[in-house]
Amino acid sequence: MYSPSAIRATREKGEPTLPLINIVFLMLIFFLVTAQMARPLDPDIQLINTDDPAFVPPPDAIVIDAAGDITFRGQPLSADAVLAILQAERDGDINARILPDRRAPAELVISVAQELRGAGAQSVFIVTEQAL
C-alpha cells in the first residue's frame, strides 16, 4: 500500500511548464525576426488581387512596375540576368517569381515569363495580392 505522503509527493510534482514556455517564447522571437528581415516592396507597386489565403510575398522576385521597368532586388536587370543570378545562388531547379504591378502591361508580364522559361527556369510563378 501507498502511504498518504507518497501519494501527495507524486501529485505535487506536476507538469514541467517552463520548457514549454521557453519554446513558445523562442518561436515568437523567431517569427518577429523573420518578419523584419523581409525586404519591403516599393510603395508605388500595386499588386494584382486574388483570393488566395496562403499569399506570402517572396523575397527574391522580379518586379515589373506600371511603366514596364523590370527590377530584381532593387536593380534594373533583364530576365536572363536574373536567371543567371538565381542559378549561381541555387543548385538544382530554379523557380522564378514575378511580382507585376496591376497597371503593368499584360503582354510584358507574359513575355518576361516566357523569356524566363526559355532561359531555363523550371517554373515561373506570378505573385498576386490577397483580396480581403
Record the pTM: 0.55
Place of cell 536572363: 80
**The pLDDT of residue 32 is above 80:** yes
**Which segments of the chain does DSSP mark as H helices, in order?**
4-13, 18-37, 79-89, 106-119
Q: What average pLDDT does the segment 62-70 reach?
A: 84
Average predicted confidence (pLDDT) for the chain = 76
- Give pLDDT tens digits for 50-62: 445 555 556 778 8
| Those residues with Cβ within 8 angstroms of residue 9's Cβ, 6 or more apart along the chain or in another chain | none
Residue 125 buriedness (CB in 10 A; 0-12 / 13-18 / 19+): middle
